[in-house]
């Protein structure tokens, strides 16, 4: 028997994970329940009968064990004995897209790759911004949705089988992250684009201001819990970018500093980039567009963003820089294999 593949926290101390026992066969194990055997046959997964009280979201562990390791797998069919009430619940919880009754008490549960990657449970480790009800406020003359307070600690975690590594995001902690932030911002290649060199005291003040500004979410990116990058996510509606295009209420933008050179390879670049975009779309289902505004002479970043689906809207002139305005649509991102 091999080690667990995809582990999922269900809440209240309950977990679900998958263990492969043979080629195309394994067990779905949920805390407090007997293991459920499954096997692949004819392009579908046959799962043992689901017991009463089985949590529908536990199926995400089984879906994740397949979708996360098979990038060309676009659709998965589970066949299992279950109640219709369970099938309805699974669909309403976003675990499956739809179901088909095969015979009394047996169902086909259809799940798509795109829907699986849009479910927050396997990835978000803090409450999402999208939980907050919409209410409108003003920042100066800018009318925008009230933004929720920032969560402390880790907000996103994703295992990357191709790299045999885990990427995570956590909200900046000034005491914990100041030394690294100061080092990164004073690197020559970072200073040219960010223009944010300074002392520890100046950077402590800067991070404190970012944490106090609900327009912004400052984050530390990690590979296997080792910090390597600083990200600033921002809501476009109340940002300086808003006057340059028709900003939506939940459009989001981002800035990045890669501070540790050992994490700058192409494989890790695509891994953290896709994960960061994934987090922004998961954090609020109302976010339909992600914006980027790199300096016009940062051609390497511009070319990379275009290769990942960002469209070049136009060039814009800020007070401090001339920038390329780039946009990624949720629908395009969902169609890609994460």
pLDDT tens, position by position, 16-25: 999 988 888 9
The pLDDT, as a whole number, for residue 71 is: 85
> pLDDT for 92-129, tens place per residue?
999 999 999 999 999 999 999 999 999 999 999 999 99
pLDDT of residue 3 exceeding 70: no
Count CA atoms closer than 13 A to 133's CA, side-chain side.
Answer: 1
- 108 noted as active-site residue: no
The pLDDT, as a whole number, for residue 280 is: 98
For CA atoms 296, 300, 306, 308, give the dihedral sign: negative
The pLDDT, as a whole number, for residue 134 is: 87
Pairing of strands 311-317, 289-292: unpaired
Cα 211 to Cα 228: distance, rounded to the nearest angstrom: 19
The pLDDT, as a whole number, for residue 154 is: 98
Which one of the listed residues 293, 329, 331, 334 is annotated catalytic?
A: 293
Q: How many residues in the chain?
A: 338
| Extended beta strands in the chain, E state | 7-11, 14-22, 25-30, 36-41, 44-47, 75-81, 98-103, 106-112, 136-139, 142-145, 154-160, 165-171, 216-223, 226-235, 252-258, 289-292, 311-317, 322-329
CA dist 161 to 67, 76, 116, 278, 307, Å? 11, 19, 17, 16, 22
The pLDDT, as a whole number, for residue 5 is: 60
> pLDDT for 41-96, tens place per residue?
988 999 999 998 899 999 999 999 999 888 889 999 999 999 999 999 999 999 99
Domains of the chain: 7-118 (3.40.630), 129-334 (3.40.630.30)
């Amino acid at each position: 028997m091999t080690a667990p593949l995809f582990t999922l926290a269900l809440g209240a101390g309950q977990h679900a994970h998958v263990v492969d026992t043979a080629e195309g066969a394994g067990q779905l194990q949920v805390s407090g329940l007997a293991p459920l055997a499954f096997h692949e046959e004819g392009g579908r997964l046959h799962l043992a009968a689901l017991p009463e009280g089985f949590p529908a979201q536990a199926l995400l562990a089984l879906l994740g064990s397949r979708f996360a390791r098979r990038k060309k797998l676009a659709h998965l069919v589970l066949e299992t004995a279950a109640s219709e009430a369970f099938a309805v619940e699974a669909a309403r919880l976003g675990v499956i897209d739809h179901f088909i009754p095969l015979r009394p008490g047996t169902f086909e549960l259809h799940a798509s790759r795109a829907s699986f990657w849009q479910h927050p449970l396997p990835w978000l480790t803090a409450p999402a911004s999208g939980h907050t009800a919409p209410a409108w406020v003003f920042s100066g003359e800018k009318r925008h949705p009230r933004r929720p307070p920032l969560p402390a600690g880790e907000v996103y975690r994703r295992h990357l089988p191709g790299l045999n590594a885990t990427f995570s995001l956590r909200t900046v902690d000034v005491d914990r992250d100041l030394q690294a932030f100061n080092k990164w911002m004073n690197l020559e290649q970072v200073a040219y684009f960010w223009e944010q060199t300074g002392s520890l005291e100046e950077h402590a003040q800067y991070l404190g201001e970012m944490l106090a500004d609900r327009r912004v979410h400052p984050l530390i990116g990690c590979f296997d819990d080792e910090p390597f990058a600083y990200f600033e996510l921002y809501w476009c509606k109340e940002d300086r970018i808003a006057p340059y295009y028709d900003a939506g209420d939940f459009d989001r933008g981002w800035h990045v500093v890669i501070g540790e050179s050992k994490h700058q390879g192409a494989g890790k670049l695509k891994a953290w980039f896709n994960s960061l975009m994934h987090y922004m779309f998961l954090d609020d289902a109302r976010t339909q567009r992600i914006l980027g505004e790199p300096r016009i002479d940062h051609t390497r970043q511009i070319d990379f963003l275009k290769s990942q689906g960002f469209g070049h809207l136009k060039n814009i002139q800020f007070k401090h820089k001339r920038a390329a305005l780039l946009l990624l649509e949720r629908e395009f991102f969902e169609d890609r294999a994460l």
